[in-house]
Amino acid sequence: MALEPFDAVDLIRTKRDGGELSAAQIDWLIDAYTRGYVADEQMSAMTMAIFLNGMGRDEIRDLTLAMVASGTRLDFSTLSKRTTDKHSTGGVGDKITLPLAPLVASFGVAVPQLSGRGLGHTGGTLDKLESIPGWRASLTNDEFMAQLESVGAVVCAAGAGLAPADRKLYALRDITGTVEAIPLIASSIMSKKIAEGTAALVLDVKFGSGAFMQDPERSRELAETMVRLGNDAGVATRALLTNMNVPLGRAIGNANEVRESVEVLAGGGPADVVTLTVALAREMLDLAGVPDADVESALKNGRAMDSWRAMIWAQGGDPDAALPTPKETHVVRAERAGVLVAQHALPFGIAAWRLGAGRARQEDPVMHSAGIELHAKPGDAIAEGQPLFTLGTDDPDRFPRALEALEGAYRIGESGDPIDDGGPLIAGRIA
């Protein structure tokens, strides 16, 4: 057996005591952990040391590149189109990928969107799309490349060979209380995106009640770290800081979010969903060399809808098929007249999860019909008895716990009261 060049305990002590790891040490650590030489207990100690003491810029870069090197890296050099992608840190009602990918593709740019499934209160793009009859998330490499060339937009599951170290490390962080460490979050996200091989990337980094990172300043730090990582690795990267204090759009769930996305592609849809879709599309297209694209017109004239239909057909789905609807519904009505002044995202995400739209464990199934429809948004005038939102599920026994999650999640005030929405939808841009 070959002699290992480093000892895991020595590296743990270095990080525990506030020291810095070299590129060679980090490369060995990630490789040794991926192949099972470094034990979970040792990597748990290392992630906690990182959580408590942080990492320098060079360390974060070296960690990210080591995780990229743990697997395969996709190569789009044979495509006739430039590639550009988007990643969101997730939120409540965040269905932006669905209208965004075909919108950008409608301008002759390839969007290789490798997406995931939801866990907890944040929804997963693949779960939403799987509510479309026949649509499949798994593609072979040949199918993936052929669809990028012909349609331009692909939303599918990432293969097991893409940054396998991250998959193993993320599962460990999830059970050791170290998920929130910015160096670990940034390297996790960016290792997958760099390995994906896209030439350009736009990050949607959210803050607020329904976001993974609630504090705006911590979200900014995360965004700045990821933008540096992308650019250092040769991926042209930008980020928007966006507000997730209020649910995005009016649909929270799976099938109902697909319906809302189709409304946007048809030139309608909620204003906040349209605004964010357009803003991200402009950034993606600018990085792809199409700086003056009229994205609003592409939503109104059917151009983006044509790309959507082609994308769904290419993956076995029927864009004209009826989507699942809940067997049972429960309407919550206003007990008084006034103005809706608060609608906190996190409780609505938890309620949708409890209705069956999300999962507690990665292997759990989701109920595609379950979710919440919002009938009012902050700032709207409310009449007594007016429907505020409708809960939907196939299992009525789920209603009580969902309603319990929504206690105190919204508030009706008087005209002139301040609106508790956390401020503008787009709070900043990092390039």
What pLDDT digit, counting tens, does each position of 302-336 carry? 999 999 999 999 999 999 999 999 999 999 999 99
pLDDT band, residue 365 (cuts 50/70/90): confident
pLDDT interval class at 362 (50, 70, 90) = low
For residue 21, how many C-alpha atoms fall within 13 Å in the half-sphere facing its CB? 31
Task: Name the active-site residue from 62, 85, 127, 166.
Answer: 166
Complete DSSP assignment for 199-233: SEEEEEEEESTTSSS-SHHHHHHHHHHHHHHHHHT
With 70 as the cut, is the pLDDT of residue 120 above it? no
Q: What is the pLDDT of residue 160?
A: 78
Q: Residues 200-243: pLDDT tens digits?
A: 999 999 999 999 889 999 999 999 999 999 999 999 999 999 99
Residue 280's pLDDT is 98
CATH architecture of 85-159+168-321: 3-Layer(aba) Sandwich (3.40)
The CATH number of 8-69 is 1.20.970.10
The CA distance from 100 to 17, in Å, is 45
pLDDT exceeds cutoff 80 at 118: no
Please identify which of the residues 192, 309, 354, 368 carries the catalytic annotation. 192
* Whether residue 170 has pLDDT greater than 90: no
Is 173 one of the catalytic residues?
A: yes
Domain 328-413 classification at class level: alpha beta
Q: What is the pLDDT of residues 231-256, one digit of tens each?
A: 999 999 999 999 999 999 999 999 99
397 is catalytic: no
Paired strand residues for 237? 201
Which listed residue (15, 61, 86, 87) is catalytic?
87
Q: What is the pTM of this model?
A: 0.94
Say what the pLDDT of residue 282 is: 98
Catalytic residue among 70, 106, 188, 261: 188
Phi then psi for 299, rounded to 5 degrees? -75, -35
Q: Which of 95, 117, 173, 359 is catalytic?
A: 173
Mean pLDDT of 55-61: 96
Does the annotation mark 16 as catalytic?
no
Spans of all domains in the chain: 8-69, 85-159+168-321, 328-413
CA quadruple 112, 106, 104, 80: dihedral positive or negative?
Answer: positive
**123 pLDDT higher than 80:** no
Q: Residues 314, 151: contact at Cβ < 8 Å?
A: yes
327 is catalytic: no
- Of all residues in the chain, what percent carry a pLDDT higher than 90? 90
Provide the H-helix boundaries in 290-411.
295-300, 303-314, 345-352, 399-405
pLDDT-based confidence at residue 358 (cuts at 50, 70, 90) = confident
pLDDT digits (tens, 9 = 90+) for 404-415: 999 999 999 999
Q: What is the DSSP string of 216-279?
A: HHHHHHHHHHHHHHHHHTT-EEEEEEEE-SS-SSSEEESHHHHHHHHHHHTT-S-HHHHHHHHH
Active site residue 188: yes
pLDDT-based confidence at 1, cuts 50/70/90?
Answer: low
